[in-house]
Amino acid sequence: MKTPWIVAASFSLALLLALGKAASAEGPREDKPVDSMAADSRISAALQQVSAERIRVNIEKLVSFGTRSTISAQDPAAIASGRGIGAARDWIRSEFERYSKDCSGCLEVKTDSFTEPPADRIPQATEITNVYAVLRGTDAENAKRVVLVTGHYDSRNSEILDTKGDAPGANDDASGAAVSLECARVLSKMKFPATIIFLTVAGEEQGLNGSRHFAKLAGEQMVKEKKAKEQGWMLEAVLNNDIVGGDKSAEQDHSVVRVFSEGLPAAATEKEIERIRGLGGENDSTSRQLARYIADVGRAYQDVVGVKPMLVFRLDRYLRGGDHYSFNQQGFAAVRFTEFREDFHHQHQNVRTESGVEYGDLAKFVDFDYVARVARLNAATLAELASAPAPPVNVHLLTKSLENDSTLTWEVAPGSLASAYEIIWRGTTSPEWEHVQRVGNVQRATMKLSKDNVIFAVRAVDAQGHRSLPVVPLPER
């Protein structure tokens, strides 16, 4: 029976041609809950190098500058005396330079200085300096992709305008600066296709001045990249560590670290808000995808990391803010890590004892092992993202007709290292991704699921199993 076979074959061929590079979700489907990504042994080995002892030395060194108030002295005499923000800034730079020397100059150590005009918390024009180190990606195209870790190195005491009194800031936020430094020391011994930036900013307590300046720079780079295809960089993720000292109060839970992420994006346009209002999406900002990614990293590396990310679906705590918001305002995915329970006697306080209560942000209240665990979680996230292929671009969900199947389309990012793509989804009431289906190295997939009932996303995967951040599709008519 030759003819029917030929007919069948031609039909299949025609169907294949019609589908193009498309995957069909018909036939046996391997629905399974989205389980933890597999730990990369190379990354696990690096995490073991994170040292609580180095973190202790760095936090105590930062405390030793007496005050790191952004408006404290930074003239040569103050720097020579080892007191004030200028001395702290120079020490951080020298520390990054030392790590770079240890990896044959693999880090580009840089400063971003600017003059902030007088404002409420800045009595006179003040030079503010962010200090950072760049571990350039090894792949020309992927090196434009950047993941970033930050903490603020400035501090304050009870009086926001006090430039002289002690402001040790061991937890807030020498702990976060120490996370950036330790991630730089450990990850600079590795190579990644994408770029990692280890940042420490100043001006946080005066009004997020340092991070705002840096995020704007990143925003300009992003626009440049999009418009002109010039040499620029794309910031994919920002990890802000602020108060990750694990204060040793009785009610502290040292097994978890909170991860705050915004819901409605600060940078959303009216049109985007309208879409979110109509179709849901208030729980799917890029920052929230980053938070879910961190939860996944936490599961994959839990044995080495030793602290569990606890996702909090809000921008920040009541009455408080932080540097991640500066990046959110520029449209970047950015989250905040903070210890489970803060002791407010130990933050923004003059060092003193009153009625038997010790006030002040002293190093003795910091749990250095806890900071090391948080640093490992950060390092694992940075390493996974910098190893992963770029997320797919122009991800769409076709909505031109009423149907119960759901077709997704996407494009390959320039220089993509993806070997396959995965469709992930969850119920609209579920906090984390629940199901995954690998669809191969294609740019289109039809799922036998109604888009009305679930939330979809697409992510890229490489041959070693590193996953990109997922991208939630935009509706396309």
Comparing CA positions, the residue from 67, 167, 71 lying closest to residue 116 is 71
The span of 170-178, 225-233, 292-300, 393-401 binding Zn ion (CB under 5 A) equals: 170-178
Nearer to Zn ion by C-beta: 257 or 395? 257
Can residue 40 be called a binding residue for Zn ion (CB under 5 A)? no
Distance CA 115, CA 67 (A): 20
The span of 14-22, 195-203, 241-249, 272-280 binding Zn ion (CB under 5 A) equals: 241-249
Residue 157's CB is within 10 A of a number of other CB atoms, namely 24
Distance CA 176, CA 282 (A): 29
* Minimum distance from residue 452 beta carbon to Zn ion (Å): 42
Instruction: State whether residue 252 is helix, strand or coil.
Output: coil
Can residue 316 be called a binding residue for Zn ion (CB under 5 A)? no
The span of 129-137, 155-163, 168-176, 248-256 binding Zn ion (CB under 5 A) equals: 168-176
* Minimum distance from residue 317 beta carbon to Zn ion (Å): 11
* Minimum distance from residue 110 beta carbon to Zn ion (Å): 23
Site string for Zn ion, 116-155 (x = CB under 5 A): ----------------------------------------
Can residue 173 be called a binding residue for Zn ion (CB under 5 A)? yes
* Minimum distance from residue 210 beta carbon to Zn ion (Å): 12
Bridge partners (DSSP) of residue 241 are: 337
Can residue 242 be called a binding residue for Zn ion (CB under 5 A)? yes
Can residue 343 be called a binding residue for Zn ion (CB under 5 A)? no
Helices (H) then strands (E): counts for the chain: 13, 18
- Please pick, from the candidates 95, 172, 262, 339, the single residue that binds Zn ion as defined by CB under 5 A: 172
* Minimum distance from residue 404 beta carbon to Zn ion (Å): 49
Please list the alpha-helical segments (H only) found in 199-336: 204-207, 209-228, 270-279, 286-300, 302-305, 324-329
* Residue at 268: amino acid letter: A
Nearer to Zn ion by C-beta: 242 or 422? 242
* Minimum distance from residue 290 beta carbon to Zn ion (Å): 20
* Minimum distance from residue 68 beta carbon to Zn ion (Å): 11
Residues numbered 45-84 forming contacts with Zn ion, rule: CB under 5 A: none
Residue owning tokens 């002295």: 73
Nearer to Zn ion by C-beta: 205 or 262? 205
* Minimum distance from residue 320 beta carbon to Zn ion (Å): 8
The span of 33-41, 239-247, 397-405, 450-458 binding Zn ion (CB under 5 A) equals: 239-247
* Minimum distance from residue 171 beta carbon to Zn ion (Å): 9
Whether 444 contacts 265, CB under 8 Å: no
Distance CA 7, CA 351 (A): 86
Nearer to Zn ion by C-beta: 243 or 460? 243
Q: State the number of binding residues for Zn ion (CB under 5 A).
A: 3
* Residue at 121: amino acid letter: R
Nearer to Zn ion by C-beta: 173 or 247? 173
Nearer to Zn ion by C-beta: 334 or 458? 334
195-201 β-sheet, strand order: 107-116, 126-135, 195-201, 145-152, 234-241, 334-339, 256-260, 308-312
Nearer to Zn ion by C-beta: 47 or 179? 179
Comparing CA positions, the residue from 446, 471, 436 lying closest to residue 457 is 471
Site string for Zn ion, 434-453 (x = CB under 5 A): --------------------
Contacts 24+ apart (CB under 8 A), 100-109: 100/133, 100/188, 102/185, 102/188, 102/189, 103/188, 103/189, 106/135, 106/136, 106/188, 107/133, 107/134, 107/135, 107/184, 107/188, 107/198, 108/133, 108/134, 108/136, 109/133
Look up residue 319 and give its two tokens.
């009455």
Residue owning tokens 């936020």: 173
Footprint on this chain of Zn ion (rule: CB under 5 A) = 172-173, 242
